[in-house]
Structure 1
Amino acid sequence: MHLAYPAVLAVLLFCVGLYGVLARRNAILVLMSVELMLNAVNLNLVAFDVWLRDKLHSGQALTLFTVAIAAAEIGIGLAIVLAVYRNRGTSAVDDLRDTAEHPDDPDDDDGDGDGGDTDAAALDEPGSTPDEASQKPQTSQQSQKAEATA
């Protein structure tokens, strides 16, 4: 068997995977493209092992290690993508990049990450400061309605 056939196939697989990494916006498709690139490398390792007629079969051994590492990588990668999807609501790479560049919420005026609601509610009463309002016990809506009707 000529070395050119598996080498050309490996180059084509690698190029398709590289295109997928560069062109896709979905993080899962990017991970699949990386796996395609790793499989192209595995094909090259096995092809050169057969072509060199190595008695130790080091190409096949390296391929087994690469497959094990790729399985761990895809498992961890999918777990990260799932966690990001649950937290952010999207797995689009561009949206995640925008979120990383601008992590502040536009509604968060006080910078504490809660959307600015807590301190704004404390300042609703005239003449009160946030420190005074935080020392007051919080009452539920039902108890406020009961006080209003009494």
Structure 2
Amino acid sequence: MTELLSPVLLAVLGGLLLLGLLLLGYRIVEQRQAATMSMPAAYRAEGESQWRRGTLRFISGRLVLRGPGGLSVGPWQRGNLDLGISTPLDEDAERALDRHDQIQVPVTYLGSRFELALAEDHYTALRAWIEAVPPGWNSQVA
């Protein structure tokens, strides 16, 4: 009986060690992504009335909205995003998001349209990031 217990115990311990290493690796990757610029925001596709809350992240030339449970919208490439003119949230959006200090911004991405709701200083950071020219961008233009 003890001869059988020993390999089973080793297998269980090995599995737990492997699981722990996988979780540690996942956490390291998440922390590196969190080190990129991130901010709370909400997303609404054109024609929808529901806002989806999440966190906007700037990750190497892309913008991603990660929602609860890891569900994400995007990624949107930096050079193809076109921000419209920001306006204060309407009353319905304020009630839905329970936020009074945010603005809504219409966005066009390769012909599709959606809206983002975010704080004004986050909007300023987003606009600056989109308008900044990354190194080497259009370097082959004569």
Larger Rg: 1
Give 1 or 2: higher helix fraction.
1
TM-score (norm 1): 0.31
TM-score (norm 2): 0.33
